[in-house]
Structure 1
Amino acid sequence: MKNGKNPTRRQKAAIKAAGFNPDNWLVFMKYGSELHIIHRNTGTTKIIDI
């Protein structure tokens, strides 16, 4: 799995709109209209639509 990167401003807004705290999540893949995010501490992955 690739290393996560800090989300951009637009990605932070999408993460927040999905109900997550953007400070706790990293973006490890952007595929089409999906963001694949990974939690900083637990390693849990989620897929959200932009």
Structure 2
Amino acid sequence: MGKQTRPTRPTRKQKEEMKAWKLVPENWLVVQDTPSEMILVSKGGLKKRVIRRGA
């Protein structure tokens, strides 16, 4: 397992990627960002979403 990190605000590039997936960037925080996937959690803390890259 990887190191658990604190959710952070998305960068501009991450926001553009979220918009491409039809997500509203203002409602999501980034938990983990790797070259293969980006793990997001909603600001309400109820939903978790994984965006896969290059698949």
TM-score (norm 2): 0.78
Bigger strand fraction: 1
Residue 40 of structure 1, CA deviation: 0.2
Q: Measure how far apart 1:48 and its partner are.
A: 0.6
Question: Structure 1: any 5+ residue segments left out of the alignment?
Answer: none
Inter-partner Cα distance in structure 1 for 2:25 and 2:8: 12
Query: Normalising by structure 1, what TM-score?
Result: 0.84
**1:16 correspondence with 2:19:** yes
Q: Residue 46 of structure 2 aligns with which residue?
A: 43
Structure label with greater radius of gyration? 2
